[in-house]
Amino acid sequence: MVKICCIGAGYVGGPTMAVIALKCPESEVVVVDICASRIDAWNRDKLPIYEPGLDDVVKACRGRNLFFSTDIEKHVADAEILFLSVNTPTKTSGLGAGKAADLTFWEKAARMIADVSNSDKIVVEKSTVPVKTAEAIEKILNHNNNGVKYQVLSNPEFLSEGTAIEDLLYPERVLIGGRETPEGQKAVQTLKDIYARWVPDDLIITTNLWSAELSKLASNAFQAQRVSSINAMSALCEATGASVSEVAYAIGMDSRIGPKFLNSSVGFGGSCFQKDILNLVYICECNGLPEVANYWKQVIKINDYQKRRFLNRVISSMFNTVSGKKIAILGFAFKKDTADTRESASIFVSQGLLREKANISIYDPKVTEDQIQYDLATNKLDWDNQVPQQPMSPTARKQVTVMWDPYEATKGAHGVCILTEWDEFKDLDYKKIYDGMQKPAFMFDGRNMVDPVKLREIGFIVYSIGRPLDPWLLDMPAVA
């Protein structure tokens, strides 16, 4: 039996430990967190995060060999393997603000481990960190070791929200990085043996520490680069009358390119892509590589451009003003099958509409009203200009309503914005929605979810990203 403890009960720690507990029933797996309300939620039927399949895995193991606790020091002291899955947000002030990862929580966790440990441990980096973070952790642990020996490994996660359980059960690869010493390689083998319970040996990759840390940043950067590439093409498609869907299909047939991450949209969001690319930019700048840093910066700039372009298209299409008009927002999560709203394009578009004095009605099947109001009111740092963006004013709060029915959200609206690709949006009764809207009725499809031809037959004026423009819009260019 191996005793495993994970520090951090968030989107990575909770699901990962649940699957390890499921596949290693003889091991004891404990997830700890300083947030008592989050741990309470993990111990109830309604879990703190939504992820398809997660409920079944947790219920199968919880109370048997999977436990959730706030008694952090006890379980850290007892564990043989410690996973660190704490938050690494982008710094909002000080050196590297807007780009560098804030490792405050990591350092606190490392110091706590050193304080309470009385037996040798394997410490595993699980969440995304800058290159050389393992070295910093080693220094903290070894300068406060009290005779305890530590081996630090990098085991980055490659999960996609909405498919995290599937990604954990059937991973494309598991990456483990460790020191190239006998002790380091023994620790790598110990962790490899855990994953080998359900992952084929040829899918478990072992590297040195720095390669593992950089591979995670590089993976997210390359995926985001593809999204920004096709979004850049979408602007050109609109200008020339081409269809980005047809272009994406044609280039995706090339086996050297492939079809994945070629769906044009209002822009990528989530906790990883922007944060990790900005971290990569900062690392490049610190290592005297400004050309490389500027290359990766452009991926984020295109993403910001795409969101501005969509917002400006909405405003310019509706006679260049949305003041006093009702705009329905369908989808607030950054992608389907999750309640995560971090860096969601819906936040940017909603805040922009509120600044233009629109009234917005928001529907999302999973995101709570409290989360929506929090996101719209949060003061966020502009990564490129290092100045705080304007949050929602107290007056603007009165311009926001959150509905739990898409038809109620769209009733009386002048325009509808589809901003999350929830499957249910494909099957809505758009004739019913049209009949309940002000005329002319506008449909702004930020995810290319609906058939623009059918909606135009109903009577909508339709804007779909990267597709030939509605005649109404031809003389109304969106300037971003």
Q: Mind listing the pLDDT tens digit for each residue in 35-61? A: 999 999 999 999 999 999 999 999 999
For residues 17 and 155, is the Cβ–Cβ distance under 8 A? no
pLDDT tier for residue 420 given thresholds of 50, 70 and 90: very high
| Token output for 20 | 């390890």
- Is 231 among the annotated ligand-binding positions? no
Spatial strand order in the sheet of 28-32: 66-69, 28-32, 3-7, 81-84, 121-125, 150-154, 174-178, 204-208
Domains in the chain, please, with CATH?
3-199 (3.40.50.720), 243-474 (3.40.50.720)
pLDDT tier for residue 218 given thresholds of 50, 70 and 90: very high
pLDDT value at 480 more than 60: no
Whole-number average pLDDT of the chain: 92
How much is the pLDDT for 323? Answer: 95
Q: Looking at 272, 284, 286, 417, which residue is catalytic?
A: 272
Rounded Cα distance between 355 and 227, Å, is: 28
How much is the pLDDT for 479? Answer: 58
Rounded Cα distance between 186 and 202, Å, is: 18
Rounded Cα distance between 114 and 106, Å, is: 12
Rounded Cα distance between 417 and 463, Å, is: 9
Rounded Cα distance between 223 and 220, Å, is: 5
| Token output for 346 | 């819906």
Burial bucket for residue 207 (CB in 10 Å: 0-12, 13-18, 19+): middle
- Is 273 among the annotated ligand-binding positions? yes
How much is the pLDDT for 471? Answer: 86
**Listed range (84-88, 237-241, 304-308, 470-474) with the worst mean pLDDT:** 470-474
- Is 86 among the annotated ligand-binding positions? yes
pTM exceeds cut of 0.95:
no
- Is 342 among the annotated ligand-binding positions? yes
- Interacting residues of 143 by C-beta distance below 8 A, sequence separation 6+: none
Q: Mind listing the pLDDT tens digit for each residue in 240-278? A: 999 999 999 999 999 999 999 899 999 999 888 998 999
Instruction: Clarify whether 272 is annotated catalytic.
Output: yes
- Is 246 among the annotated ligand-binding positions? no
